[in-house]
């Protein structure tokens, strides 16, 4: 009985439900039909947009994009692509097999009209993805606002040819006026381009070709409208633009050196460049390097951890037209200069190779207002032809500032002096401060000056240099002060030197062919210490006056050799005592 009663209850409930539903249909039939029709329309639209939207909109979008490219470039560029697939629900447009090429005939026509740009390019990529877009954005609307555009592994061929009638970077105002024909307002939150295969053809410089692999670009907050066409704070209409280059290497034309950096970050909007781990390395070891040379030549080994350049004119730099920056800084680096004096001297004169003269030889106009160096180590090593040993001078923890680095003559009217003001630790024993001044207006004559000063140092720390290069060892010496001023030109230098010291004792040496070491020259050491050299020039206040220095340059020797020989002239006059 309970079971039958339960079945009757359930049957009663179902009958009551259907009765109420039928009554509801009778009372609200209009609303129910409307809801059902709405659901059907939405379902049909979803199915259509999923299955038919690309086929219907694709060809129209493709035509629209091609027109935007053509109008925006004044007919210089054309766009080809296989397909345009749009997913309306995701707001995503995917373009496949895209090629943007410049028309050489149109470029020639623009050139004849003096309207051609300095730079043209070809771009190819397999896929481009645009997020935050709908059909109306490209088909009907004058204003387009997008979220993100992603490009992967594009190939870019960039061609630069300087034209005399172009005196400035690309005219973005004209670009905006052209795209107004197809668009009124355009904004993009982010443009991301990864793994660019970039080739730069500098037609103006003997069609020099530079290649970069794995370049990436990230540009944010792009806005193209009437309010930004004259906004100098933007880079190609963008608030932020970062360009990254990775692992770049190149071999010098003489095959002696390899230039390399780990990465470069260019912030185009703020005009900053940061270089990580920059190196300029000789190919092979010291012996290999020397074997490649018929004559003596300095061997350079440079390794810099970080370099930063601010307020850089990136456009003209990339074009190879000029290098202009207000501030630059080199941090945490080493520079080793190695001289193999066992090689015969080069017959060619080195006149014209002073620092400012080399600057004048650079074909590209250069202007750097200030260049700072921080924690730089410079080591000069020389293999002596007499001792067959390597002597070394070390300048460590260099802190310095270059100012007015320029080869542009119009800048000489404002300031014709390039200056280096630097301080360092010399041989890890004493503080050395030097000021170099180079007269840029008289670079052809080599005009320069040097002021240098060094305080107390234990002379024995110089034995790393004196034993191999001078064939004498310093047994004891206390250098209390060295101060010099030198004025120089192409063929000579003169000036003054003050050298104060105590307790000077040396040992004369000669190479020992059997042991490969040095042998003491007792008689010469005795004569030098007792008859030639003054032990001190401070205890008795004797011979401590400022000495005049002068040296005639060996035209086969370097700028720094002239300075050192001039200083040595004053040191010899001091330690040999009064005539």
Give 144-180 pLDDT, tens digit per residue: 778 888 888 899 998 988 888 876 555 544 555 655 5
Long-range Cβ pairs for the range 526-532 (8 Å, 24+) = 528/472, 529/505, 532/576
pLDDT at 173: 46
Is position 431 within any domain? yes
Determine the 3-state secondary structure of 40 from DSSP: helix
pLDDT digits (tens, 9 = 90+) for 360-406: 998 889 999 999 999 999 999 989 998 999 999 999 999 999 999 99
Q: Tell me whether strands 155-160 and 185-202 are parallel, antiparallel or unpaired.
A: parallel
Alpha-carbon span 37 to 229, nearest angstrom: 49
Q: What is the share, in percent, of the chain residues with pLDDT greater than 70? A: 82
Structure tokens at 274: 């940061």
Where among 174, 205, 224 does a domain terminate?
224
**Most confident of the following: 287-301, 494-508, 519-533:** 494-508
pLDDT at 194: 87
Residues 415 and 551 in one domain: yes
pLDDT at 18: 47
Average pLDDT over residues 454-459: 92
Residues 281 and 327 in one domain: yes
**Most confident of the following: 39-48, 119-128, 138-147:** 119-128
Question: Which pLDDT band, with edges at 50, 70 and 90, does 288 fall under?
Answer: confident
Give, for 27, the enclosing helix (H) or strand (E). helix 2-51
Q: Is residue 465's pLDDT more than 70?
A: yes
Domains contained in the chain, number: 2
Residues 396 and 511 in one domain: yes
pLDDT at 368: 95
Average pLDDT over residues 194-207: 85
Is position 18 within any domain? no
- Residue 195: give the domain boundaries: 53-224
Residues 217 and 338 in one domain: no
What CA–CA distances, in Å, run from 341 to 58, 391, 563? 73, 11, 19
Is position 210 within any domain? yes
pLDDT at 21: 47
Is position 4 within any domain? no
Residues 412 and 309 in one domain: yes
Residues 481 and 551 in one domain: yes
Average pLDDT over the chain reads 83
Q: Is residue 504's pLDDT more than 80?
A: yes
Is position 432 within any domain? yes
Is position 13 within any domain? no
Average pLDDT over residues 513-537: 83
In sequence order, the 6+-apart residues with CB closer than 8 A to the CB of 152 are 125, 126, 127, 194, 195
Residues 167 and 131 in one domain: yes
Where among 207, 224, 241 does a domain terminate?
224
Alpha-carbon span 373 to 424, nearest angstrom: 11
Residues 209 and 294 in one domain: no
Q: Is residue 334's pLDDT more than 80?
A: yes
Q: Tell me whether strands 185-202 and 143-152 are parallel, antiparallel or unpaired.
A: parallel
Residues 278 and 418 in one domain: yes
Residues 523 and 394 in one domain: yes
Alpha-carbon span 470 to 564, nearest angstrom: 13
**Most confident of the following: 72-86, 126-140, 428-442:** 428-442
Residues 153 and 280 in one domain: no
Is position 565 within any domain? yes
Q: Are 462 and 532 in contact (CB under 8 A)?
A: no
Is position 26 within any domain? no
Structure tokens at 107: 């470029």
Range list of β-strands (E), 286-384: 299-310, 323-340, 366-383
Residues 261 and 143 in one domain: no
Where among 182, 204, 224 does a domain terminate?
224
Alpha-carbon span 377 to 414, nearest angstrom: 33
Of residues 372, 386, 382, the one with CA closest to residue 512: 386
pLDDT at 24: 47
pLDDT at 112: 92
Least confident of 27-41, 128-142, 455-469: 27-41
Q: Are 558 and 488 in contact (CB under 8 A)?
A: no
Q: Are 369 and 326 in contact (CB under 8 A)?
A: yes
């Amino acid at each position: 009985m309970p079971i039958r009663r339960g079945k009757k209850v359930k049957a009663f409930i179902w009958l009551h439900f259907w009765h109420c539903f039928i009554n509801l249909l009778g009372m609200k039939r209009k609303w129910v039909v409307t809801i059902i029709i709405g659901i059907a329309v939405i379902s049909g639209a979803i199915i259509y947009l999923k299955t038919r939207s690309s086929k219907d909109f694709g060809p129209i979008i493709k035509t629209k994009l091609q027109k935007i490219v053509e109008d925006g470039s004044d007919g210089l560029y054309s766009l080809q692509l296989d397909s345009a697939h749009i997913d309306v629900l995701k707001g995503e447009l995917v373009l496949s097999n895209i090629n943007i090429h410049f028309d050489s005939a149109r470029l020639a026509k623009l050139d004849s009209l003096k309207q051609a740009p300095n730079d043209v390019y070809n771009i190819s990529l397999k896929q481009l993805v645009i997020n935050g877009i709908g059909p109306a954005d490209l088909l009907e609307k004058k204003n387009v606002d997008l979220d993100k555009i992603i490009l992967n592994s594009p190939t870019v061929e960039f061609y630069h040819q300087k034209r005399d009638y172009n005196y400035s970077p690309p005219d973005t105002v004209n670009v905006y006026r052209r795209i107004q024909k197809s668009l009124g307002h355009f904004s993009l939150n982010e443009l991301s381009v990864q793994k660019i295969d970039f080739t730069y053809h500098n037609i103006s410089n003997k069609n020099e070709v530079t290649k970069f692999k794995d370049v990436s670009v990230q540009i944010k907050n792009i806005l193209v409208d009437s309010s930004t066409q004259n906004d100098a704070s933007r880079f190609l209409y963008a608030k932020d633009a970062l360009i990254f280059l990775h692992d770049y290497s190149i071999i010098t034309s003489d095959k002696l050196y390899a230039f390399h950096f780990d990465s470069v970050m260019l912030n185009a909007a703020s005009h900053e460049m940061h270089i990580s781990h920059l190196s300029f390395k000789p190919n092979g070891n010291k012996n290999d390097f020397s074997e490649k040379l018929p004559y003596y030549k300095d061997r350079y080994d440079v390794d810099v951890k970080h370099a930063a350049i601010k307020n850089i004119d990136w456009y003209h730099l990339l074009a190879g037209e000029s290098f202009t920056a207000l501030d630059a800084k080199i941090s945490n680096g080493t520079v080793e200069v190695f001289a193999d004096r066992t090689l015969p001297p080069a017959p060619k004169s080195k006149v014209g190779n002073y620092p400012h003269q080399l600057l004048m030889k650079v074909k590209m106009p250069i202007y750097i207002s200030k260049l700072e160096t921080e924690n730089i180590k410079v080591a000069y090593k020389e293999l002596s032809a007499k001792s067959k040993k390597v002597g070394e001078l070390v300048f460590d923890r260099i802190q310095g500032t270059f100012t007015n680095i320029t080869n542009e003559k119009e800048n000489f009217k404002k300031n014709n002096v390039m200056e280096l003001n630097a301080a360092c630790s010399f041989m890890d024993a004493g503080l050395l401060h030097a000021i170099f001044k180079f007269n840029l207006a008289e670079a052809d004559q080599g005009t320069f000056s040097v002021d240098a000063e060094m305080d107390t140092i234990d002379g024995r720390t110089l034995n790393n240099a004196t034993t191999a290069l001078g064939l004498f060892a310093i047994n004891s010496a206390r250098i209390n002060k060295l101060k010099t001023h030198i004025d120089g030109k192409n063929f000579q230098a003169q000036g003054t030197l003050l050298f104060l010291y105590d307790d000077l004792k040396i040992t004369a040496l000669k190479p020992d062919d059997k042991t490969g070491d040095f042998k003491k020259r007792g008689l010469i050491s005795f004569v030098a210490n007792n008859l030639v050299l003054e032990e001190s020039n401070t205890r008795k206040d004797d011979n401590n006056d400022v000495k005049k220095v002068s040296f005639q340059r060996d035209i086969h020797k370097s700028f720094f050799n002239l300075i050192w020989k001039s200083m040595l002239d004053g040191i010899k006059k001091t330690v040999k005592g009064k005539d």
